[in-house]
């Protein structure tokens, strides 16, 4: 049994998550899926122009893993551009760099850094110890099969 994938740290959530060729009805298009961490890899390397080592550090993964993620992302985008397919940015194995939580009982709000989210996510409010806490998602988050997930981007099987 292979080990579970390591969560990737994502600093940017795209507001637009679907792209299609102009002038072609959606019903006639095939679709490819670009994961959120693949979109982050393209953003860091190709848009910001960072070196792969720095990109890997920002995503909290090894450089070879970053290279594989980037290669997969570029292949997906190339397939879409050359073959006229729509791109849907969706899902993946990621956590936001900072997750925001709210206490439903007292209304307290706080941020939890990536390192803590992957090791030990919060179960109670740090101020009043209430277990009634909810993650606060920025607009556009809600990826994965079946709609919303407890943690953004994680695919539960």
Quote the pTM value.
0.72
Share of the chain above pLDDT 70, in %: 87
Neighbours of 120 (CB within 10 A): 9
Does the domain at 8-89 match CATH 1.10.10? Answer given as yes
- CB-CB contact of 45 with 63 (8 Å): no
pLDDT in tens, 136-157: 865 545 443 333 333 444 443 3
């Amino acid at each position: 049994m292979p080990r579970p994938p390591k969560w990737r740290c994502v600093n940017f959530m795209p507001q637009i998550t679907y792209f299609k060729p102009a002038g072609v009805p959606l019903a006639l298009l095939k679709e490819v899926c670009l994961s959120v961490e693949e979109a982050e890899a393209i953003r860091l390397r190709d848009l910001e122009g960072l070196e792969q080592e720095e990109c890997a550090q920002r995503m909290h993964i090894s450089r070879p893993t970053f290279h594989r993620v980037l290669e997969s992302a570029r292949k997906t985008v190339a397939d879409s551009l050359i073959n006229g397919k729509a791109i849907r940015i969706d899902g993946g194995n990621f956590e936001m760099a900072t997750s925001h939580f709210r206490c439903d009982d007292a209304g307290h709000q706080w941020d939890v850094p990536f390192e803590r989210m992957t090791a030990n996510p919060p179960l109670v409010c740090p101020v009043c110890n209430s277990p009634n806490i909810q993650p606060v998602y920025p607009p556009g988050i809600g990826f994965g099969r079946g709609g919303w997930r407890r943690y953004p981007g994680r695919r539960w099987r």
